[in-house]
């Protein structure tokens, strides 16, 4: 008889529930280590059919580690599982594990495609570079604000120009220099690290054939191409190209009940970062790109009928489908 296992994963401990023949046969807790959990499952369940857990911070590691142990691991959408888990009278880790095991047994779940470690490593590079750029921007704005309080207005400029302007204004300002210069040194160090990560990103994009093809589109740079390619991974993951727009949350939501039937705003589901980058690329295509293309002409005609944001979202969706 087949065994169905539900795992409620947390940082330290994982609640485990095992069902067989429509009944729970065992439940307990185990340290959140896939190898220890795999040993426990093999000890308690002789014929494992499904091992189900929700999406979360540890889901990528758990999925690949459990698969490497030979277990049929399945990661399911946490939003989908929540509707079923909320049926329990009390919210506990043990009850959540029971609910996940029940979902595994009846097959009522939506499996999530888990990305490979290589794709996650590249996405981590993009996220780290983006975070450093944001921190440097926040630091430069903070420096400008502090100096403005004392009547020292830093002229417009970025990079080395900004640093040169700040240092020139601090001449003779010993008290303020002792406060601002350490911040400026931190800004400079973070900027150098962000540039190093940016060079790694560009070098990786140039070596990837998919990224090179995507970067040939006006408005699509190394960051957008890399983020999109690692999010999609394999085009065969989608039966139709039109599904990519819906997967990224760029299609409108629909509400229909009785006499009521209308389309709302875009769903904003899926990868928020990729969706934002595609919107930025669409904005560049509509406003700054000088290269004529069918997509640009279509977007400009649409802009005459609707507002700019809606036109940019529509271009972003077409860009995702075309890519």
With beta carbons less than 8 A apart as the criterion, state whether 84 and 103 touch: yes
Nearest to 102 by CA among 12, 240, 5, 187: 5
Does the domain at 3-106 match CATH 3.50.50.60? Answer given as: no
Tally Cβ neighbours within 10 Å of residue 150.
12
Nearest to 198 by CA among 227, 162, 223: 223
- Band of pLDDT at residue 192, cut at 50, 70 and 90: very high
Residue partners of 256: CB distance under 8 A and separation at least 6: 262
Compute the average pLDDT of residues 147-168.
93
- Nearest-angstrom CA–CA distance, 103 and 214: 40
Domain boundaries, the chain: 3-106, 117-207, 225-322
Q: Above 80 in pLDDT, residue 323? A: no
Rg (alpha carbons) of the chain, rounded to whole number = 26
Q: What mean pLDDT, rounded, does the chain reach?
A: 92
With beta carbons less than 8 A apart as the criterion, state whether 268 and 249 touch: yes
State percent of the chain over pLDDT 70.
100
- Band of pLDDT at residue 154, cut at 50, 70 and 90: very high
């Amino acid at each position: 008889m087949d065994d169905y296992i539900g795992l409620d994963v947390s940082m330290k401990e994982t609640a485990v529930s095992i069902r067989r023949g429509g009944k729970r046969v065992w439940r307990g807790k185990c340290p959140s280590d896939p190898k220890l959990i795999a040993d426990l499952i093999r000890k308690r369940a002789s014929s494992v059919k499904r091992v189900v857990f929700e999406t979360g911070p540890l889901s990528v590691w758990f999925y690949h580690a459990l698969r490497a142990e030979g277990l049929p691991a399945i990661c399911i959408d946490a939003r989908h599982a929540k509707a079923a888990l909320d049926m329990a009278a009390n919210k506990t880790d043990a009850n959540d594990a029971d609910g996940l095991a029940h979902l595994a047994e009846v097959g009522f779940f939506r499996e999530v495609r888990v990305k490979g470690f290589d794709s996650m490593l590249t996405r981590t590079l993009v996220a780290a570079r983006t975070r450093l750029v944001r921190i440097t921007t926040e630091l430069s704005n903070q420096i400008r604000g502090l100096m403005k309080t004392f009547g020292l207005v830093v002229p417009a400029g970025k990079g080395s120009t900004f640093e040169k302007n700040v240092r020139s204004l601090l001449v003779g300002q010993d008290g303020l220099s002792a406060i601002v210069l350490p911040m400026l040194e931190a800004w400079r160090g973070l900027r150098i690290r962000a540039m190093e990560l940016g060079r790694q990103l560009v070098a990786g994009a140039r070596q990837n054939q998919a990224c090179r093809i995507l970067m040939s589109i006006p408005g699509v740079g190394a960051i957008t191409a890399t983020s999109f390619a690692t999010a999609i991974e394999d085009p065969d993951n989608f039966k139709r190209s039109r599904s990519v727009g819906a997967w990224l949350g760029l299609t409108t939501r629909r509400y229909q009940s009785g006499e009521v039937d209308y389309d709302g705003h875009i769903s904003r589901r899926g990868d928020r970062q990729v969706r934002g980058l595609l919107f930025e690329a669409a904005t560049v295509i509509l406003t700054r790109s000088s290269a004529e293309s069918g997509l640009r002409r279509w977007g400009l005609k649409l802009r005459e009928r609707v507002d700019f944001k809606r036109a940019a979202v529509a271009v972003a969706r077409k860009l995702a489908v075309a890519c």
